[in-house]
Chain A
Amino acid sequence: MRRPGYYETCGCHCFTEDEAVNEGAGYKSFSEIEVRARATQVVHSAVLYAAHATLQRGYAYREGQGHAWVTGPNGAVSRFVESHAAKASVAHLVSGYRDTGARSSMMLGATPLYYFRGEAPMWWPSASDTSWTTYPNNTSPHTHVGLAFWADVCASWCVRRFDDESEFFDIDFTVGYGTANWGRCSCYAYQDTDSTSSHANKNSHAAPDDIRVRFRTFECTFATVPFHPCTFLFFRPWSF
C-alpha cells in the first residue's frame, strides 16, 4: 500500500461488510461499484483501496484424538492406535499451496501417508477379501472428516517424532510413492526468517516481535483501527 503523494503521514480507515448481518450471503463482498459508491466524502489527499481475501482459513483450533501407528513384533499390531501422548491442537492455515523450498531449513522430517485411495494395496493377499476398505488407511482425505483424520495422523507423527519442536505441518496428496503410499506428511519447526538475525536457521519457540517479523513500517497508527478480531491485514515484508 502506497502513501498518497508526498505526505509524510497518513490516516487509515478500514471498513468491512458483514453479509451475515446485512444483505445476506448472496451479497457477500463488495463489487467495485459498491466500493466506489461508499466513497461519499471528497478528500483531495485520500486514496481508496479495496482489500480482497486471498487466503481463506478453515478451523482455527481443533484438538485431535491422537493417532499413532503401532507395528508390534512381526507386525502383529499394525494399526492406528489412539494415543493422547501424540495429541496436538491444529489450526488449518491454507489449502492448495506448496512450499517453494525456502522453508527447507525448517523442515524436520517427512513420512509417507499410506492412503489406499479406494483401491486394494498391491500387497493385499486376497482379491476376495475386501476388509481393506474398512481400514483407516482407506479414509478419503477428500471429505472433511477424512481430511481431519489424516491431519491428526500427521500431527501425531510430528509429535511422536519431534515432540514440541514441530510448529507447522503440511499434508500433500498430490505425491505418490506407490499404490498404497499416496500422500506425504511434512513437519516444520519455526525459525526466525530474517537471514541477518543471530537466530536465523535455529529452531525457536520464541514469540515474534516487531524486529523479527520485519513487516513494512507504515506511518499509519493501526493500533487505533478497530479491526474485527477475526480479520487480519497481510502486508508484504521487506524481503519481497
Chain B
Amino acid sequence: MHISVFQAMEFLNEFYKIPANQPNDTHVYAMKKDVGNGLWIPRLQSTLYYSKLWQTEIDAPQGSMDNAPALAGKAHGVSSLKACLERCADDAVSAVRALRTVRFDPTDESCRCFDDSLFQWKFDSVNDTDNQLWTRDGDSTAEWYEVKFCEFVRPDTVRIATRTSHTHTLLWAVL
C-alpha cells in the first residue's frame, strides 16, 4: 500500500466513534490503485503498463471509435496483444504523443491506439451524448486496455514483494 500505518492513524485521528445509540454502519479503508501489468519493451527501454478496461462484451461501435481521439489508424494483421501494445508504443514515441487506450481484437487481428483515456466519464455520460461510446455486444471479442507508457522506466518489481499477508491487525491505545 502507499499508505503506512502511521499515515492511516494520522488520517483516522480526526474520526470520531459514532455513539452506540446512533446508526453506525460506516467503514473506512486505505486503498491503492492497482498498477496493472507491465510490459517491458527493450527496443524503447520503456515500460507499458496496461489494465483491461472492461470485461469482454463491452465495446464501442465502429462509428463511435472513428470519432474517438485516435493516435494512429486501425492496423490489421496484429496477431497478439503484445504486438499491439508494442506497436502503439512505437506510434506514441515516433509521434511524440500520449498513449492512454488500446483496443485489440484477436478475431480480426486489429489494433487501435488512442491518445486519450476512454475511461473518462465523458465517454459514458448521460449528459454528454456526443461522446457516449460504450455498448454491450455479446459477439464482440475486442479487448480494451487502459495503458500508461513510462518512457525509460523499468517495470515495478517491488510491488509484489511488499504485499502483506496478515489478515488481522490491532491498533492499541495506551490509556
* Interfacial residues, chain A to chain B (CB-CB below 8 A): 1, 49-61, 63, 66, 68, 70-73, 75-77, 81-103, 106, 141-142, 147, 151, 154-155, 158-161, 163-164, 166-174, 188, 190, 193, 205, 207-208, 213, 215, 229-235, 237, 239
Contact = CB atoms under 8 A, between A and B. Distances in A.
Interface in B144-175: 145-146, 163-175
Interface of B: 1-18, 22-34, 36, 51-55, 58, 119, 121, 124-126, 129, 132, 134-136, 145-146, 163-175
Contacts of B33: 87-88, 159, 163-164, 166
A81 B51 contact: no
A190 B129 CA distance: 35
Instruction: Describe A's contact surface by its main secondary structure.
Output: mixed
A56 to B, nearest CB: 6
Contacts of B31: 88-91, 155, 158, 166-169
Query: Which of B53, B121, B165, B174 has the most C-beta atoms of chain A within 10 angstroms of its own C-beta?
Result: B174
A102 B174 contact: no
A164 B36 CA distance: 12
Contacts of B28: 92-95, 97, 168-170
Query: Which of B18, B23, B163, B169 has the most C-beta atoms of chain A within 10 angstroms of its own C-beta?
Result: B169
A84 B34 contact: yes
A83 to B, nearest CB: 6
Given A76-B135, A193-B13, A167 B27 contact: no
A168 B10 CA distance: 12
Contact of A103 (B11, B30, B54): B11
